[in-house]
């Protein structure tokens, strides 16, 4: 899948996630291959999510995850993901998200409890977006740019006790990027030049 298509897909997922979070509801989007069990009849035919974000949003509000293929087409909705990992101090949706974030998969989780969007790649949480932050929508294109630069091995694991804004990228309102100090410095210097 070409880079521009991926960026647009990520941007749509974050924008839909922001709308869901602001209403105090939750959702889970998984882009890639994952084992799942259907919990509802799959009556909605596959569609390109970039072309129909409203339908994606409606499907995301059902219990379970929405599965999207690498071409940006919805494959399944209202599905259960078997969690093989536990995301400490969080619920089952977070455990499903961290479990699904393997290989090239991209996972976007919308938390109804704290109204935050958490993005997982390579088995780790890499970005957190606060849906209640003023003008957070203006940060989405830049967050997608940062997300695109996240490659295998560049993200360091941080414990949930270290989730403080001081560790994040301050030039993006409402967005925290998690990673090693070296990685964050590289991203900061690159984005200040752009």
pLDDT of 146: 61
C-alpha–C-alpha distance, residues 74 and 155, integer Å: 28
Q: pLDDT, tens digit, for every residue of 44-66?
A: 999 999 999 999 999 999 999 99
Q: If 0-12 CB within 10 Å is exposed, 13-18 middle and 19+ buried, where does residue 67 land?
A: buried
CATH number, residue 85? 3.40.1700.10
Q: How many domains does the chain have?
A: 1
- Domain hosting 179: range is 3-193
Measured in whole angstroms, how far is the alpha carbon of residue 141 from the centre of its chain?
14
**Beta carbons of 75 and 69 less than 8 angstroms apart:** yes
Phi, psi for residue 113 in degrees, rounded to 5: -70, -50
pTM of the prediction? 0.78
Q: pLDDT, tens digit, for every residue of 135-160?
A: 777 766 666 666 665 543 333 333 32
pLDDT-derived band at 172 (thresholds 50, 70, 90) equals low
C-alpha–C-alpha distance, residues 83 and 100, integer Å: 8
Its sign, for the CA torsion 137, 139, 140, 141, is: positive
pLDDT-derived band at 188 (thresholds 50, 70, 90) equals very low
Q: CA-CA distances (angstroms) from residue 122 to 19, 127, 136, 162?
A: 26, 12, 25, 19
Nearest to 106 by CA among 36, 15, 29: 29
Q: If 0-12 CB within 10 Å is exposed, 13-18 middle and 19+ buried, where does residue 69 land?
A: middle
């Amino acid at each position: 899948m070409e880079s521009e298509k991926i960026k647009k897909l990520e941007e749509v997922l974050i924008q839909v996630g922001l709308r869901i979070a602001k209403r105090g509801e939750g959702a889970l989007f998984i882009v890639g291959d994952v084992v799942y069990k259907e919990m509802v009849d799959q009556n909605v035919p596959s569609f390109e999510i970039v072309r129909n974000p409203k339908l994606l949003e409606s499907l995301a509000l059902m219990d379970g995850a929405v599965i999207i293929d690498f071409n940006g087409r919805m494959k399944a909705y209202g599905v259960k993901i078997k969690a093989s990992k536990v995301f400490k101090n969080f619920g089952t949706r977070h455990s499903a998200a961290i479990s699904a974030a393997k290989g090239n998969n991209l996972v976007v989780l919308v938390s109804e409890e704290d109204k935050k969007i958490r993005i997982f790649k390579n088995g780790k949480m890499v970005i957190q977006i606060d849906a209640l932050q003023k003008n957070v929508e203006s940060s989405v294109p830049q967050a997608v740019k940062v997300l695109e630069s996240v490659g295998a091995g560049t993200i360091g694991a941080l414990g949930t006790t270290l989730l403080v804004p001081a560790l994040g990228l301050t030039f993006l309102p409402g967005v925290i990027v998690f990673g090693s100090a070296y990685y964050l410095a590289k991203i900061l210097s690159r984005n200040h030049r752009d």
